[in-house]
Amino acid sequence: MERRVKRGRPKLSRRPVTKGFEYDTNQEFSRIMMLCQGLKALGWVSNDMNMQAFIKLFTGDDVYQRIVWRGDVNTLAELFRRLVNKRGLLKLPAKHSLWVMVNGHFWNQKGGCEFGIDKLRKAHCPVKNEEAISLLVNLLDPEFDLSGAK
């Protein structure tokens, strides 16, 4: 009997993602709080979202509360693509990919469920939100002068 060799990506375990992203600028929570306020102002997250849970998401701690994303999947994906891959402002915990992390920490508002790793990975930059995404990414850049962003 011929044995088939499995190819492609390994199957993901269904264990929940608890580790947060790592943002290291001497625990400068003011930038994370400004990011949260910006997301709320744009309507991409709920106004009553727990600020402490949001801060924990960026300190590398264990996070057990998911954030409901009210914006579109393309905006979410592009925001984190820039924060992690393009600008290197956030680090991923060991053995976690970008899309597993984003999928594990954000809920889709429409169905109260995950977006799906493939949907996040295949998302394209939304032209209409380009400027807002750039500003939000700059908020976490320690070299960006915050006095111009207020």
**Confidence (pLDDT) at 16:** 75
Task: Tell me the pTM.
Answer: 0.84
Instruction: Report yes or no on 38 lying in a domain.
Output: yes
d(CA 145, CA 150): 10
**Confidence (pLDDT) at 3:** 56
Instruction: Report yes or no on 19 lying in a domain.
Output: no
Digitized pLDDT (tens) for each residue of the chain, 150 residues in all? 555 555 544 444 456 788 999 997 665 788 999 999 999 999 999 888 888 889 999 988 888 888 999 999 999 999 999 999 999 999 999 888 999 999 999 988 876 788 999 999 999 988 999 999 999 999 999 888 877 655
Task: Give the count of domains, the chain.
Answer: 1
Beta bridge partners of 108: 69, 113
d(CA 96, CA 41): 30
The answer to whether residues 83 and 89 touch, using CB atoms and an 8 Å cutoff, is: yes
The answer to whether residues 119 and 73 touch, using CB atoms and an 8 Å cutoff, is: yes
**Confidence (pLDDT) at 99:** 95
Instruction: Report yes or no on 22 lying in a domain.
Output: no
**Confidence (pLDDT) at 103:** 94
pLDDT 10s digits, 33-57: 999 999 999 999 988 888 888 999 9
**Confidence (pLDDT) at 138:** 94
Instruction: Report yes or no on 5 lying in a domain.
Output: no
Instruction: Report yes or no on 13 lying in a domain.
Output: no
Boundaries of domain holding 77: 29-144
The amino acid that residue 7 corresponds to is R
**Confidence (pLDDT) at 70:** 93
Instruction: Report yes or no on 75 lying in a domain.
Output: yes
